[in-house]
């Protein structure tokens, strides 16, 4: 299904306090509708907090979040959340519901009849490569990669125009993670939904984002650039350190190979292609 | 055995009286302790207050309690209702902490996922937290049920009929068979209730039985 108008997200002088510290101080950013934006930062940089202000799981102490220009704090919170896809690690699946019922969660909450909700859920499962044979299993009976796909399918089943993804692939093996990353890129290309993706993994950020926002403590935006821009021109020592270029342990570079941009490590070994 | 055969009607009557006291007391204990346990999860301060208060209830000596309850609730001294209220007090004392632990055992990520998918707080409680707290709640309820069925016998001391009447009467009149009957039936009733709760727990949590079974291999 094509998404004609994926919403933009605007953070306007956002401030979030937890106990006596500012988790986010004065964050102002605009995320374009239909873009794939990665929030990259170490733990404590406030990236998950920033994500959760969009669906109001975190309430800001100051500032506003605008979704397609309208202030989320003025919207019905339950309706808002049902309209936004949220994907987290596999541990966020409902262990007491089958795969099918996990995926059908939001349609059921919206009052869709059971049969219809299951049809929607099966379609969402198919889009992430989950066959109907898995429908009646419980999450504990799936592999890590399958669990992640269930999480993505659950978010898709609501037919969202924006998806928030909080380190969804952090707990799966590297090969499966690559496959999932590839699929989520394709899903984005096919739907044009706005994606905000949180990770602390530099490789993942480079592989996925059209745009990468590198966050430092307090939600300070250390750099806001394309993957190429970040690799070729780290804004400061903090970004360089995240990339591993400062210490020399990885030294990712970009190399042209017949028109495609190849990411290579210090010894010239290619580790990925920038899909653009 | 002659004594049992000669007094079957009385024994059955006391067994039914015992059931009529203990089952409502167990149900009431659950109905009060579960919301209290969930409330205790709301904040550290609520938890401290609720658990300290309910914990102390268990230390109230039982005989004064069954005498005070009729005065407070305006009930006749020797009514089954008195015993039901007293047993509920102990049941809540015993179950509130377990109920709080049961809700604490719901993984934070799952609760966050319930919020993120747009559950109202009522739906989140009913459809996510309660089912996931169920294994621990059932375990706690089994303890309360056993304690309640055993404790109900003391009602006989103030003349509230139950299987305990067989114990007091048997002791006073020196009838060993009567005492034995009282003990055996109390234990048998406890076993039946415990088994039913175990079965109810098992059938209501199909997902807990699949864990550990063969997992899919393909990623």
User: Of B112, B132, B214, which has the smallest distance from its Cβ to A92's Cβ?
Assistant: B112
> What CATH code is carried by the domain that includes residue B86?
1.10.3720.10
- Is B212 inside a domain boundary? no
Contacting B with CB below 8 Å, chain A residues are 55, 57, 78-82, 86, 88-89, 91-97, 105-106, 109, 134, 137-138, 140-146, 154, 158, 164, 172-173, 175-176, 179
Q: Domain map of chain A by residue range?
A: 9-239
Question: What is the residue range of B85's domain?
Answer: 2-205
Q: What is the pLDDT of residues A128-161, one digit of tens each?
A: 999 999 999 999 999 989 999 999 999 999 899 9
Q: Measuring CA to CA, which residue among A182, A112, A97 is closest to residue A147?
A: A97
Mean pLDDT score, B15-22 = 97
- pLDDT value of position A13: 93
B215 touches chain A (CB under 8 A): yes
Whether B116 and A55 lie within 8 Å, measured CB to CB: yes
What CA–CA distance (Å, rounded) separates B133 from B141? Answer: 12
- Between residues 151 and 210 of chain B, which touch chain A (CB distance below 8 Å)? 205-207, 210
User: Of A79, A95, A145, which has the smallest distance from its Cβ to B110's Cβ?
Assistant: A95
Mean pLDDT score, B171-196 = 96
Q: Which residue bears the tokens 């209501």?
A: B204
Phi, psi of A197 (to 5 degrees): -120, 120
Q: How many residues does chain A have?
A: 276
B45 touches chain A (CB under 8 A): no
Q: Measuring CA to CA, which residue among B14, B168, B36, B164 is closest to residue B89?
A: B36
3-class secondary structure for chain B? CHHHHHCHHHHHHHHHHHHHHHHHHHHHHHHHHHHHHHHHCCCHHHHHHHHHHHHHHCCCCHHHHHHHHHHHHCCCCCCHHHHHHHHHHHHHHHHHHHHHHHHHCCCHHHHHHHHHCCCCHHHHHHHHHHHHHHHHHHHHHHHHHHHHHHHHHHHHHHCCCCCHHHHHHHHHHCCHHHHHHHHHHHHHHHHHHHHHHHHHHHHHCHHHHHCCCCCCCCC
User: Of A57, A96, A172, which has the smallest distance from its Cβ to B115's Cβ?
Assistant: A57
Q: What is the pLDDT of residues A98-138, one digit of tens each?
A: 999 999 999 999 999 999 999 999 999 999 999 999 999 99
Report the gap between the CA of A67 and the closest CA in chain B (Å).
16
Whether B211 and A92 lie within 8 Å, measured CB to CB: no
Q: Is residue A64 very low, low, confident or very high in pLDDT (cuts 50, 70, 90)?
A: very high
Those residues whose C-beta lies under 8 Å from the C-beta of residue B167, and which sit 6 or more positions away, are: B153, B156, B179, B182, B183
Q: Indicate if the pLDDT at residue A1 is higher than 50.
A: no
Neighbour order of strands in the sheet with A220-225: A84-87, A162-166, A194-199, A36-40, A211-216, A220-225
Whether A146 and B218 lie within 8 Å, measured CB to CB: yes
Query: 3-state DSSP call for residue A5?
Result: coil
A215 within 8 A of A39, measured Cβ to Cβ:
yes
Q: Indicate if the pLDDT at residue B189 is higher than 60.
A: yes
- Is B15 inside a domain boundary? yes
Angle, helix B8-40 to helix B80-104, in steps of 10 degrees: 40
- pLDDT value of position A246: 52
Mean pLDDT score, A190-218 = 91
Q: Indicate if the pLDDT at residue A188 is higher than 60.
A: yes
Whether A92 and B119 lie within 8 Å, measured CB to CB: no
Q: Measuring CA to CA, which residue among A113, A121, A182 is closest to residue A156?
A: A121
User: Of A81, A96, A97, which has the smallest distance from its Cβ to B116's Cβ?
Assistant: A81
B186 within 8 A of B153, measured Cβ to Cβ:
yes
Angle, helix B130-151 to helix B80-104, in steps of 10 degrees: 150
User: Of B114, B118, B206, which has the smallest distance from its Cβ to A82's Cβ?
Assistant: B118
B47 within 8 A of B162, measured Cβ to Cβ:
no
Q: Indicate if the pLDDT at residue A184 is higher than 50.
A: yes
- Is B125 inside a domain boundary? yes
Q: How many residues does chain B have?
A: 219
Is the ipTM beyond the 0.90 threshold?
Answer: no
Tokens of B128: 């996510």
Phi, psi of A275 (to 5 degrees): -85, 105
- Is B55 inside a domain boundary? yes
A272 within 8 A of A253, measured Cβ to Cβ:
no
Strand partners for A263: A254, A272
Q: List the single range of A89-93, A196-200, A241-245 with lowest mean pLDDT.
A: A241-245
Q: Indicate if the pLDDT at residue A66 is higher than 70.
A: yes
**Number of domains comprising chain B:** 1
Nearest residue in B to A175, CA atom = B219
Q: What is the pLDDT of residues B50-99, one digit of tens each?
A: 888 888 888 899 888 888 898 899 888 888 999 999 999 999 999 999 99
What CA–CA distance (Å, rounded) separates A180 from B188? Answer: 56
- pLDDT value of position A247: 53
Whether A89 and B112 lie within 8 Å, measured CB to CB: no
Q: List the single range of A62-71, A94-103, A169-178 with lowest mean pLDDT.
A: A169-178
- pLDDT value of position A275: 58
What CA–CA distance (Å, rounded) separates A146 from B217? Answer: 9
For chains A and B, count residue pairs whose Cβ atoms are closer than 8 Å: 92
Q: What is the pLDDT of residues A206-252, one digit of tens each?
A: 989 999 999 998 888 899 999 888 888 888 888 888 887 655 555 66
Percent share of chain A, pLDDT over 70: 90
Q: Measuring CA to CA, which residue among B208, B72, B68 is closest to residue B138?
A: B208
Strand partners for A217: none
What CA–CA distance (Å, rounded) separates B8 from A242? Answer: 82
User: Of B109, B118, B219, which has the smallest distance from its Cβ to A106's Cβ?
Assistant: B118
What CA–CA distance (Å, rounded) separates B68 from B86? Answer: 10
Neighbour-count burial for A49-66, b at 16+ CB within 10 Å, e otherwise: bbbbbbbbbbebeebbbb
Q: List the single range of A261-275, B26-40, B173-187 with lowest mean pLDDT.
A: A261-275
What CA–CA distance (Å, rounded) separates A79 from A225? Answer: 33
Angle, helix B164-173 to helix B8-40, in steps of 10 degrees: 130
Q: List the single range of A246-255, B37-46, B137-146 with lowest mean pLDDT.
A: A246-255
Report the gap between the CA of A166 and the closest CA in chain B (Å).
11
Contacts of B115 in chain A (CB under 8 A): 57, 81
Q: Is residue B187 very low, low, confident or very high in pLDDT (cuts 50, 70, 90)?
A: very high
- Is B213 inside a domain boundary? no
Q: Per CATH, the architecture of A9-239 is what?
A: 3-Layer(aba) Sandwich (3.40)
- Is B218 inside a domain boundary? no
Whether A91 and B109 lie within 8 Å, measured CB to CB: yes
A192 within 8 A of A2, measured Cβ to Cβ:
yes
Q: Which residue bears the tokens 């570079």?
A: A253
- pLDDT value of position A236: 87
Whether B210 and A141 lie within 8 Å, measured CB to CB: yes
């Amino acid at each position: 299904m094509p998404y004609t108008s994926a919403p933009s997200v605007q953070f306007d002088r956002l401030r979030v306090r937890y106990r006596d510290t500012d988790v986010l101080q004065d964050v102002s950013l605009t995320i374009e509708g239909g873009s794939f934006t990665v929030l990259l930062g170490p733990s404590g940089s406030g990236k998950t907090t920033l994500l959760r202000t969009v669906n109001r799981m975190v309430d800001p102490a100051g500032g506003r979040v605008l979704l397609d220009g309208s202030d989320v704090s003025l919207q019905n919170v339950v309706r808002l959340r049902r309209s936004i896809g949220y994907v987290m690690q596999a541990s966020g699946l409902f262990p007491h519901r089958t795969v099918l019922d996990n995926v059908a969660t939001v349609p059921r909450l919206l009052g869709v009849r059971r049969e219809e909700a299951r049809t929607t859920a099966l379609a969402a499962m198919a889009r992430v490569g989950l066959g109907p044979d898995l429908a009646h299993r419980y999450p504990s009976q799936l592999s890590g990669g399958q669990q992640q796909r269930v999480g993505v399918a659950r978010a898709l089943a609501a037919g969202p125009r924006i998806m928030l993804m909080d380190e969804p692939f952090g707990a799966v093996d590297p090969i499966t993670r690559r496959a999932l990353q590839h699929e989520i890129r394709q899903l984005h290309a096919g739907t044009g939904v706005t994606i905000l993706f949180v990770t602390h993994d530099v490789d993942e950020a480079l592989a996925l984002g059209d745009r990468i926002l590198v966050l430092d403590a307090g939600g300070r935006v250390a750099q806001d650039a394309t993957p190429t821009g970040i690799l070729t021109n780290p804004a400061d020592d903090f970004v360089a350190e995240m990339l591993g270029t400062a210490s020399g342990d990885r030294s990712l570079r970009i190399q042209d190979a017949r028109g495609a941009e190849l990411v290579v490590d210090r010894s010239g070994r290619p580790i990925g292609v920038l899909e653009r | 055995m002659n004594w049992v055969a000669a007094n079957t009607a009385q024994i059955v009557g006391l067994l039914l009286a015992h059931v009529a006291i203990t089952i409502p007391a167990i149900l009431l204990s659950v109905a009060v302790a579960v919301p209290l346990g969930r409330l205790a999860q709301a904040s550290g301060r609520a938890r401290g207050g609720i658990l300290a208060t309910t914990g102390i209830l268990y230390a109230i000596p039982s005989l004064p309690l069954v005498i005070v309850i009729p005065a407070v609730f305006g009930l006749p001294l020797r009514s089954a209702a008195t015993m039901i209220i007293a047993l509920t007090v102990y049941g809540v004392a015993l179950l509130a902490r377990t109920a709080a632990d049961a809700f604490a055992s719901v993984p934070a990520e799952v609760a966050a996922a319930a919020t993120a998918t747009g559950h109202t707080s009522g739906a989140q409680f009913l459809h996510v937290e309660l089912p996931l707290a169920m294994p621990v709640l059932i375990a706690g309820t089994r303890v309360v049920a056993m304690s309640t069925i055993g404790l109900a016998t003391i009602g006989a001391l103030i003349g509230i009929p139950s299987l305990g009447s067989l114990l007091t009467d048997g002791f006073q009149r020196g009838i060993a068979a009567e005492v034995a009957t009282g003990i055996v039936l109390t234990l048998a009733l406890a076993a039946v209730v415990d088994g039913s709760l175990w079965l109810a727990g098992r059938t209501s949590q199909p997902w807990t039985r699949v864990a550990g079974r063969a997992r899919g291999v393909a990623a």
